[in-house]
Amino acid sequence: MKLYQHPMSTTCRPIIMFIADEGLDVEQQVVDILAGEQYGDAYKLVNPSCLVPALDDDDFPLIESSAILKYLAEKSGSKAYPKDIRARTRVNERLDWVNTNFYRSFGYGLVYTQILDPYKLTDAAAHKAQVLMGLSQAQRFLAVMNDHMLGNGATWLAGDDITIADYLASGIVSVGEVIGCTFKDYPNIANWLARMKARPNWQAANGAIQQWAEFVKGPTYVTV
Ligand SMILES: N[C@@H](CCC(=O)N[C@@H](CS)C(=O)NCC(=O)O)C(=O)O
């Protein structure tokens, strides 16, 4: 089994950490997305969308971080993807929510509009409005995660134990650290992220966040 990944990628880091935490035997190949390797003919055969991650399990190709996490967890019988129908559906629900509402508003709306050129409007006034709109949408969904999903003393996003929803979500929440987010108004999120960061494989799987932060250091960013 082979994972095509890049260590800075928001959607690869959760899989890299899950593989490490579960001790899975998965070969990993870095696709240099900073140099455009994802658009080369060789990688297009792996993922025609030219994005990482992608998995190849004995000629079964799979793209999409959420699907890859589910596949690896199911195949390895991981407790992080419970078998009980309601518990599993709760995990699926959280994964969908994180991957759509939350990633769109926080990742694409607030973070990427400030540090990734393809997502920035070029007109300065329009860009400012774009970031403020991202901020307001991000705040809306951060409040849901903080007050509802992680409210009432919840330790993890989808029940009493860590699940693959926590892996995916922590990859996305932590990309906020690239622009200096501290989540000070969202203490339940900050504490949950600290729990994820205390896990032994966090730094090895997510260390590239600091590298990315160094690359984009300088401007004052709009943060939460
Ligand atoms: N929905 C996809 C998103 C994958 C994605 O956006 N990957 C980014 C890295 S986080 C990428 O490969 N970017 C390269 C590019 O846009 O050229 C997933 O969850 O796997």
Q: Give the residue, out of 4, 8, 11, with the most ligand 1 atoms within 8 A of its beta carbon, to mutate for a pocket test.
A: 11
Residue 84 has what pLDDT?
98
Residue 158 has what pLDDT?
98
Q: Give the residue, out of 34, 52, 70, 178, with the most ligand 1 atoms within 8 A of its beta carbon, to mutate for a pocket test.
A: 52
The CA 33 to ligand 1 mean position distance, Å, reads 9
CA 133, 209, 203, 72 torsion-angle sign: positive
Q: Give the residue, out of 15, 51, 175, with the most ligand 1 atoms within 8 A of its beta carbon, to mutate for a pocket test.
A: 51
Residue 20 has what pLDDT?
98
CB of 53 closer than 6 A to ligand 1? yes
- For the range 126-132, what are the long-range contacts, defined as Cβ-Cβ under 8 Å and sequence gap of 24 or more? 131/222, 132/222
* Structural domains of the chain sorted by starting position, each given as residue range(s) with its CATH number in brackets: 2-76 (3.40.30.10), 85-215 (1.20.1050.10)
**Helices 164-174 and 13-22, interaxial angle, to 10°?**
140
Whole-angstrom distance, CA of residue 156 vs CA of residue 150: 7
Parts of the chain with a pLDDT under 70: none
CB of 82 closer than 6 A to ligand 1? no
Q: Do the beta carbons of residue 3 and residue 27 sit within 8 Å?
A: yes
Phi, psi dihedrals of residue 119, rounded to the nearest 5°: -105, 0
Q: Do the beta carbons of residue 103 and residue 142 sit within 8 Å?
A: no
Going across the sheet that includes 60-63, the strands are 27-30, 2-5, 54-57, 60-63
Whole-angstrom distance, CA of residue 13 vs CA of residue 177: 14
Q: What DSSP state is assigned to residue 23?
A: T
The CA 119 to ligand 1 mean position distance, Å, reads 13
Task: Name the nearest CA neighbour of 190 among 202, 209, 177, 200.
Answer: 177
CB of 10 closer than 6 A to ligand 1? yes
